[in-house]
Amino acid sequence: MNAPDRYERFVVPEGTKKVSYERDTKIINAASFIIEREDHTIGNILRMQLHRDPNTLFAGYKLPHPLQYKIIVRIHTASQSSPMQAYNQAINDLDKELEHLKKVFQAEKIRIENISL
Amino acid sequence: MVGVSYQRFPTVKIREMKDEYMKFELRDTDASIANALRRVMIAEVPTIAIDLVEIMSNSSVLNDEFISHRLGLIPLVSKKAMEMRFSRDCDACDGDGQCQYCSVEFCLNVRCEGDQTLDVTSGDLRSFDPMVMPVDANIGKDFDEDSVDPSIQKKSGIIIVKLRRGQELNLRAIARKGIGKDHAKWSPAATVTFMYQPEIHINEQLMETLTLDEKEDWVESSPTKVFDIDPKTHQVVVVDPEAYTYDDEVIKKSEAIGKPGLVEIYPLEDSFIFTVESTGVISAYQLVINALEILKQKLDAVRLSDDAQENDEQFGELRQHLGGVL
Ligand SMILES: [Zn+2]
């Protein structure tokens, strides 16, 4: 009767931002990114990609509560970079990796089909 | 900082590829990517499934919602799903979910007239779109009409309900695009798993201090057939490293017989072996490709908006003006 709609898990409510950015008030170059309607799928790949960036001093994510459909990604960088720069860089790199993976997969499929012919 | 990239270039090797099954190696990436891919395949690659049922008449032994639930679970060919719209963000029908861009109509009208029990199956569903049909729709047609065994000649498909004389089922169903996160009926994945590729090193020198009986005992201690003994040289060899389930049994056995370090096994942290089985609504290969596409779209959606970035730049200038006060 009072169960929340199933789509609430993945549809961003109207008037809510998908990503909001909150700069840390005490530490320079530290910030939190609150990402609505995402989970470990995005949180973990972002975190691991940020760890590849030597300017990132800290990167972590949490899913605050299983019924709050959002994740919080916290980034702390060295002074040469900024959390926003690191965040954008991580997304760009992941995007390129997935694009590469797609191409590699398509090429591999063609290779496999030629062998079996 | 421009031009800096920490991008990886993963490699893929397909070991086996059938319509609904695929096994492949994924290398030079990490577990987060492998797991994201697995999660997206199970819960976020869209398919088409019956979502709304309007029952005109139902005199069968099953109630309306029981039949509606069964209809929802029938796998429908979903090649079209990636291009289709979700009903909730379709502007052609104002979210009504009944237009050609976001839905496919089906109807089913069966009445039992004979004395024999009549099976109502997914084959009785009539689709208004030839691209979207129950997955097994063409199986029946492959049967030889003159087949001797009449039981094989019977129509195939997924059974929905059985009718006796005089009972009927007449309904209209709307199939929509959806994802497994919403309801498992939309999941295109039967099973998707991955494992770390194990690297196994036998300490040959230490192994040779064992008698043949001890070697046999040691080989047998593994619950899966990972090792064997060469019948000629009596040497212990690795026959199937991937059969290893990270159970540690051979390592415990080595310690138990007072020979720790007989074997060293560790997972290669950048190599994964994937097994993908689809439900048949799309091919296993297409499932992987669609998952990569969906994951890319998800990443694009979490990019920061321009105004958020501008605000931050202004804030940065302000900080410079104040010279370290902040
Ligand atoms: Zn529509």
Q: Encode pLDDT of A7-58 as tens digits.
A: 999 999 999 999 999 999 999 999 999 999 999 999 999 999 999 999 999 9
Residue B25 lies in a domain: no
Q: Provide CB contacts within 8 A for A33, sequence distance 6+.
A: A19, A20, A21, A22, A72, A73, A74, A75, A83, A87, B304
pTM of the predicted model as reported, rounded to 2 decimal places: 0.90
End-to-end Cα distance, chain B: 24
Q: Provide CB contacts within 8 A for B318, sequence distance 6+.
A: B326
Q: Which residue in the set B9, B303, B315 is minimally distant from A100, CB to CB?
A: B9
pLDDT class of B313 with cuts at 50, 70, 90? low
Give dist(CA B125, CA B285) in Å, integer. 27
Instruction: Flag whether the ipTM exceeds 0.90.
Output: yes
pLDDT class of B322 with cuts at 50, 70, 90? low
Contact B182 A84 (CB under 8 A): no
- The DSSP output letter for B216 is H
Could you tell me the CATH number of the domain that includes residue B94? Answer: 2.170.120.12
Q: Chain A closest CA to B228's CA: distance in Å? A: 31
Q: Whose structure tokens read 């995402």?
A: A38
Cα–Cα distance list, B53 to B31, B65, B173 (Å): 41, 9, 4
**Which residue segments constitute the domains of chain A, with CATH numbers given?**
14-116 (3.30.1360.10)
Q: Chain A closest CA to B103's CA: distance in Å? A: 17
pLDDT class of B95 with cuts at 50, 70, 90? low
Selected residues 119-148 of chain B with any CB under 8 Å from a CB in chain A:
none
Residue B134 lies in a domain: yes
Q: Encode pLDDT of B135-165 as tens digits.
A: 976 554 444 445 445 454 456 799 999 999 9
* Mutation for testing the B interface, residue in A70, A105, A111 having most B CBs under 10 Å: A105
Give dist(CA B146, CA B144) in Å, integer. 5
pLDDT at B138: 57
Full domain range(s) for residue B121: 48-185
pLDDT at B310 over 80: no
Residue B315 lies in a domain: no
Residue B181 lies in a domain: yes
**Sign of CA pseudo-dihedral B155, B158, B164, B166:** negative
Q: Which DSSP string do the residues of B87-149 spell out, in sequence order?
A: GGG-TTTTT---STTTEEEEEEEEE--SSS-EEEEGGGPEES-TTS-BTTTTHHHHS-TT-S-
Order across the sheet with B11-17: list the strands: B11-17, B21-27, B263-278, B189-202
Residue B235 lies in a domain: no
The total number of structural domains that make up chain B: 1
Residue B73 lies in a domain: yes
SS3 B307: helix
Residue B31 lies in a domain: no
pLDDT at B325: 45
pLDDT at B321: 58
CB proximity B308 to A under 8 Å: yes
Q: Encode pLDDT of A51-83 as tens digits.
A: 999 999 999 999 999 999 999 999 999 999 999
Q: Whose structure tokens read 């992941």?
A: A94
Q: Which residue in the set B1, B9, B88 is minimally distant from A11, CB to CB?
A: B88
Q: Encode pLDDT of B22-40 as tens digits.
A: 999 999 999 999 999 999 9
Cα–Cα distance list, B210 to B73, B223, B252 (Å): 57, 20, 16
Residue B152 lies in a domain: yes
Give dist(CA B304, CA A35) in Å, integer. 10
Q: Are A34 and A72 in contact (CB under 8 A)?
A: yes
Q: Chain A closest CA to B54's CA: distance in Å? A: 21
Which residues on chain A are in Cβ contact (under 8 Å) with B315? 23
